[in-house]
Amino acid sequence: MRIQPSDQLVLDHVAAREAAIIGRAVDWSNISSGSRNTGGLVMMLDRLEAEIARLPAEAQRIATGPSTSVGDDGAVRTEAHADALKVVARPDAPIQIVLTGHYDTVFPAGSGFQTVSVRSDGALNGPGIADMKGGISVMLAALEAFETHPERERVGWTVLLSPDEEIGSPASAPLLAELGARGHIGMTYEPALADGTLAGARKGSGNYHLIVSGKAAHAGRAFHEGANAVAGAAILAARLHALNGLREGVTVNVAKISGGGALNVVADNAVVRFNVRVPDKAASEWIEAAVREIAADPPLPGLTLQLHGGMTRAPKPMDASQTALFEAVRDTGALLGQTLAWKPSGGVCEGNNLHAAGLPNVDTLGVLGGDIHSDQEFAWPASFVDRAQLSALILCRIASGEIDALKLKSLRLETM
């Protein structure tokens, strides 16, 4: 295997735009766009649309549906979400690639972490610079370069940029499922580890909110007339925590208990919030049944329970299609002098959704960085060109048939 002259021109296109690729990611990271920051998300959409206009593709905003959320008071509310951005080129081409990313971050409006700076070691430190505004810039750079390739007509592609990945993709999940079912290979731009390692197998994840309703009473004069929801929530949290260790690879994290009020009032409401991680489908079914059994058994007289939420992302094992795709990506990286490896991850992302819909995918094609979801988040500037060149060469090799997208899709369908 070697890099063809036409491929080298694509790689040179990426290299020539290094400053712009990094610069727009920095500009985007200076826009506060937490998952529930509507104004910031709309501003990001405007900026993304302007940048995408340079591509020979059709872009449109896709309205997302509402989701439900549970307040700390136990009230169930309907929550609206910003639009997704869908970009399509050559939808009738024989090979279809799905590229996904998210333009929301975990940092809310008013967060003290709002701008990008350069560390003393040269790393960029900023909100979303790795996760994943840097990744979006890398994705677009690869597509811009690939559109100069003479065999581009064999490959169509669809980009989906979602507004809600950091809260579990409640609104964009149907869009991901639809694209995953239609595409042949998926490419998602979560950051790789700081040394370039990719995420291989991923666990599945579920988010739950268990509402505990009781009866208020004066804690002194009528204590026994009440039903203490906070006390019940504590017992339920202990029952949930006790599920840890009962099945290999399954974890239950009780993240928060909220509710109650004045010290002299028996609490009549509480909410237990928890996350589960599972290694495979059988474990997913087991934990769902265990959670529902706990949620059907009020721990104290007078309490009622309502369970909300569920499994939001299915496990993503290293099946035959994933293994073959990762080997192809590794070989592509070797042509560029990049040594690529992968390892399992307990984290989840849109790659889980795409795999569940039947799409083999690599979901850590973004920049090299670390400390995401904290004010120490960073990305290495040199990785922007390297990773964009990796994606661009993957696309070139798909177009030439060196990476057999149709075979990879067939392998995935055989395991469903």
Contact 192, 366 (CB under 8 A): yes
Fold for the domain defined by 204-313: Alpha-Beta Plaits (3.30.70)
Q: Start-end ranges of CATH 3.30.70.360 in the chain?
A: 204-313
pLDDT of residue 416: 86
In terms of residues, how long is the chain? 416
What is d(CA 130, CA 132) in angstroms, rounded to the nearest whole number? Answer: 5
Q: Which residue(s) pair with 67 in the sheet?
A: 79
Ranges of the chain whose pLDDT falls below 50 = none
What is d(CA 252, CA 171) in angstroms, rounded to the nearest whole number? Answer: 24
Please tell me whether residue 290 adopts helix, strand or coil conformation: helix
pLDDT of residue 233: 98
Residue 394, Cβ density class (10 Å: 0-12 exposed, 13-18 middle, ≥19 buried)? buried
User: pLDDT per residue over 302-327, tens digit each?
Assistant: 999 999 999 999 999 999 999 999 99
Torsion of CA 33, 38, 43, 45, to 10 degrees: 90
Sheet order of strands, 304-313 included: 251-259, 269-278, 204-213, 304-313
Other CB atoms within 10 Å distance of the CB of residue 344: 15
Please tell me whether residue 294 adopts helix, strand or coil conformation: helix
Q: Which of 1, 24, 362 is nearest to 196 (CA)?
A: 362
Q: What is the pTM of this model?
A: 0.95
What is d(CA 22, CA 129) in angstroms, rounded to the nearest whole number? Answer: 9
Question: Does a cis peptide bond (omega within 30 degrees of 0) precede residue 311?
Answer: no
Residue 92, Cβ density class (10 Å: 0-12 exposed, 13-18 middle, ≥19 buried)? exposed
What is d(CA 17, CA 9) in angstroms, rounded to the nearest whole number? Answer: 13
Distance (Å) of CA 402 to CA 93, 327, 371, 388, 395: 17, 12, 35, 19, 10
Which two three-digit tokens encode residue 165? 């990945």
Contact 68, 306 (CB under 8 A): no
What is d(CA 80, CA 68) in angstroms, rounded to the nearest whole number? Answer: 9
Element (H, E) at 109: none
pLDDT of residue 193: 86
What is d(CA 272, CA 129) in angstroms, rounded to the nearest whole number? Answer: 33
Distance (Å) of CA 44 to CA 32, 156, 261: 9, 25, 39
Side chain identity at 162, as an amino acid letter?
A: S
DSSP annotation of 352 reads H
Contacts of 92 by beta carbon, 8 Å cutoff, 6+ apart: 156
Which two three-digit tokens encode residue 43? 């501003």
Contact 7, 396 (CB under 8 A): yes
Please tell me whether residue 57 adopts helix, strand or coil conformation: coil
Domain 5-73+80-201+315-414: homologous superfamily in CATH: Zn peptidases (3.40.630.10)
Q: Which of 379, 321, 24 is nearest to 200 (CA)?
A: 321
What is d(CA 171, CA 81) in angstroms, rounded to the nearest whole number? Answer: 7
Q: Start-end ranges of CATH 3.40.630.10 in the chain?
A: 5-73+80-201+315-414
Which two three-digit tokens encode residue 361? 């995918």
